[in-house]
Structure 1
């Protein structure tokens, strides 16, 4: 945030929202039908790659 956006004040918000989104994702991952059809490890790796390339 500091170097790319020049907004050092947003670091806390960015990290907090990321942690909250992760908790919500973990909470809803199990009930979703896709969780039973897709390998969770491969899905996690793929989603992390997608998230990294979006930055």
Structure 2
């Protein structure tokens, strides 16, 4: 099988596969970063409200 494809064809197929994987999983990455951002804001808000009480 390896002998049937040239190196440029293998490189093109690899790049295409990586780009396709990034395209497919992009919404998951965006959701994760959004959730982390919300979590940081909640922690920051909780710390500020706790400091106001003290």
State the TM-score bracket (shorter-chain normalisation): 0.3 to 0.5
**TM-score with structure 2 setting the length:** 0.44
Give the structure with the larger helix fraction.
Answer: 2
Q: Which has the larger radius of gyration?
A: 2
